[in-house]
């Protein structure tokens, strides 16, 4: 039972890390686009 819980929490942690990484990537790319637009104008 304990081993199963460990595997479950590991999967959840992995997903959460991927989610956080994806969100930070999106935010940084949006900021990057904004700076490019500022330079174009």
- Structural domain span for residue 26: 1-38
DSSP string, 1-41: -HHHHHHHHHHHHHHHHHHHHHHHHHHHHHHHHHHHHHHH-
pLDDT of residue 29: 95
Q: Count structural domains, the chain.
A: 1
* Cα dihedral sign, 21-23-25-28: negative
Over residues 1-41, the pLDDT tens digits come to 689 989 999 999 999 999 999 999 999 999 999 998 888 87
């Amino acid at each position: 039972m304990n081993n199963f819980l460990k595997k479950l929490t590991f999967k959840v942690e992995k997903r959460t890390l991927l989610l956080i990484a994806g969100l930070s990537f999106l935010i940084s790319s949006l900021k990057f686009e904004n700076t490019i637009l500022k330079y174009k104008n």
